[in-house]
A and B are shown apart, each in its own frame.
Chain A
Amino acid sequence: MNNQASGRTAPSGAEPSGRKNEWPRFLLLAFVGLPITMTLAIAAYGFVVWFLQILFFGPPS
């Protein structure tokens, strides 16, 4: 907390990664990282539902 607060009050502060890589990191996260995560999560959800169908529910009603 303290660390972050001080980061805000002193934008010129000593965080090496913050300054230089912020834009690339933001773009990478928003347009590559999270979409991939979303797809994987949905796929995992699909597999879980499928396995539950095999094991417990039977085909969807």
Chain B
Amino acid sequence: MKNLLRSLRDLFLKPSVRIGLGVLVTGGFIAGVLAWQGFNTAMEATNKEEFCLSCHTMHDNLLPELQKTVHWNNRTGVRARCPDCHVPHDFTDKVARKMQASREVLGQLLGTIDTREKFKEHRIVLAQREWKRFSANGSKECRACHDYKDMDFDKMRPASQVAMRKAAERNQSCVDCHKGVAHQLPEMKGARNPAFDTLVSSAAGQSVDAGKDYFLVVPQELYADEGMTKRIGAIEVATQVKVLETKGDAQRVELALWRKNKGYGRVWYSHFGLNITSAVLDKEVALDASFVKVLDTKEDPMTGLEWQQVTATAWMRKGSVLDSVEPVWSIARASYSSSCSVCHRQPEEAHFDANTWPGLFGGMVSFTSMDDDTARVVLKYLQTHSSDFSTSHGAGSPDSALQTARP
């Protein structure tokens, strides 16, 4: 060690004996130029699309998807290559990103995502990392090719103009709205909204008294028997049920809902005249008069359809109800205001009625990254806070409307 240090010191501090200063400097200069050139060439080589695609995971999964998009093949012949979007363009961030790739090399060696199935499963994690990166840098990489200041909004398709003008005003990150421009979006179905986990754990701690009303915090299967072997349908989140008894892992609940007297009457709604889905039963069960009791029949003046007030009892897994529906709505509210305010201000819940929301929501939800469960809760939240329920809009809740309508 000491020897090494000494020879190093000698190397740097002892003047040379036989080589002239000019030769030394020139030699050093040439070496420097070559080294820097070599370094840049190496950097560039790892920034080529061929390099990205030399890992078969990338080649098999991402390339065919990119090839279907406008970034691969278009009218103007400008191609976006993998690194154009995925590697930062300035030196420090680029070097940091290259070093970060050591994790990817490790993943390659361990085969973390070496099959299509494994890749699809892990994809959401990878995509979320990229989304976070793009949102932190304002989609800098996209804007190296197309930026707001160079856009002629009048030439855009009418569908794009409003949203894009607003985006430019706010200087918003492209990937906030343009997710999945280059690849298939990850499957959101497997993704779970972590907010629900806290709900489920508080539901596990909820003490339940027979004869009282509770609200579901997660969708549940319904069974005909307490052993929970014969499935007869499913019940939606936020549906109100009356708990009758608890036996082992099972709970017998009473549903008091509405359905349309049309077809099999499989879909049950929470309110008369409103398409707020609360439970979906199997066909045979829905037709079974010994299971379903019809309490009342009314005609909806809007559609001329006859609605039945129905009740039934069924078994479901215990530990999934709360005595208040508010915690469910607060998750829905948070998700609604974060996901639906990206392109426009989120509409007032009470701006539309309960039967209009599903159509509007269905057209919009694909723009967001909501998973299926969350989307269902948010839709239900919007419906139950729509103009049909809002007192400030003067419509009055349908319950009170019912009350007055009853003889």
Contact = CB atoms under 8 A, between A and B. Distances in A.
B39 A42 contact: yes
A43 B301 CA distance: 73
B136 A58 contact: yes
A30 B28 contact: yes
Interface string A1-45: 000100110010101011100110111011100110011001101
Interface string B285-322: 00000000000000000000000000000000000000
20 contacts: A17-B10, A22-B18, A22-B19, A26-B24, A26-B27, A27-B27, A31-B31, A34-B31, A34-B35, A35-B39, A38-B39, A45-B92, A46-B96, A50-B96, A50-B97, A53-B96, A58-B132, A60-B96, A60-B137, A61-B138
A22 B39 CA distance: 27
Contact of B17 (A7, A29, A34): A7
Given A50-B100, A59-B132, A25 B11 contact: yes
B31 A18 contact: no
Interface residues of A, number: 33
A14 B62 CA distance: 66
B95 interface: yes
Given A7-B14, A25-B11, A26-B24, A59 B39 contact: no
A47 B31 contact: no
Nearest to A31: B31
B31 A30 contact: yes
Contacts of B138: 61
Interface of B: 10-11, 13-19, 24, 27-28, 30-32, 34-35, 38-39, 88, 92-93, 95-100, 132-133, 136-138
Nearest to B16: A22
B106 to A, nearest CB: 14
Contacts of A25: 11
B99 A47 contact: yes
B96 A18 contact: no
A35 B19 contact: no
B38 A45 contact: no
Interface centre among B15, B17, B35 (most CB of A within 10 A): B17
A36 B261 CA distance: 80
Nearest to A22: B18
A61 B123 CA distance: 24
Contacts of A18: 14, 16-18
Interface hub of B15, B30, B138 (most chain A Cβ within 10 A): B15
B121 to A, nearest CB: 24
Contacts of A60: 88, 92-93, 96, 133, 136-137
A8 B39 CA distance: 37
Contacts of A15: 14, 17
Contacts of B10: 17
A13 B35 CA distance: 34
B348 to A, nearest CB: 33
Nearest to B133: A59
- Return the 6 tightest CB-CB contacts between A and B, nearest first: A46-B99, A30-B31, A46-B95, A35-B35, A49-B96, A59-B136
Contacts of B28: 30
A45 B137 contact: no
Given A59-B136, A61-B137, A38 B35 contact: yes
Given A47-B99, A49-B96, 5 more contacts: A4-B14, A35-B31, A39-B39, A59-B133, A60-B133
B11 A29 contact: yes
A4 to B, nearest CB: 6
A59 B132 CA distance: 7
Nearest to B12: A29
A8 B19 contact: no
A34 B17 CA distance: 21
B88 A46 contact: no
A51 to B, nearest CB: 9
A4 B39 CA distance: 36
Nearest to A30: B31
Nearest to B17: A18
B168 to A, nearest CB: 19
A45 B97 CA distance: 11
A30 B13 CA distance: 15
A39 B35 CA distance: 9
A50 B99 contact: yes
